[in-house]
Amino acid sequence: MTTVSRTFDVHPQPAVVIDYLKDFGNAEQWDPGTESCTRHDSGPVQVGSSWHNVSKIAGVTTELTYTLQELTDDTITLVGHNDTARSVDTITVVPSPDGPGSRITYEAVIELKGAAKVADPVMKIVFEKIGSDTEDDMTTVLNRLAA
């Protein structure tokens, strides 16, 4: 199991950040590995909403189904799964202690299943790099919302 966590500040207020990030279809804009992310259902995004995510990680294309498991005023939890992996992404958004804006903590817990478990130590390095790139891209995209 691999855990990657980042904490960073952005300009928009927490409600704006939560409203944007709860729609996982937006991952195409801020997740460097995501090639496409298509919602399965329609209507307002709510607990139970789900997406088909296609990502390329270390040159390998993988597809996961993500479901919005938790949505509160300060927390989003998305659970992705397929036959070889399970990912639990928890995004916590609170007012920034350093002034206006928000402080985001993004934690991804990735569990590889079956034969894929052998790659766990190598994937930790890969996912740490993806975590840094995601922080950079998410910061850029979210800061545009404050303009």
Residue range 59-65: average pLDDT?
Answer: 89
Q: Is the pLDDT of residue 115 over 80?
A: no
In total, how many domains does the chain have? Answer: 1
How does strand 34-39 pair with strand 50-57?
A: antiparallel
**CATH at residue 25:** 3.30.530.20
- Of 114, 61, 64, give the one whose Cα is nearest residue 86: 64
Q: Is the pLDDT of residue 125 over 60?
A: no
Q: Note the pTM of the prediction, 2 decimals.
A: 0.88
Question: Which range marks the domain in which residue 43 is found?
Answer: 2-145
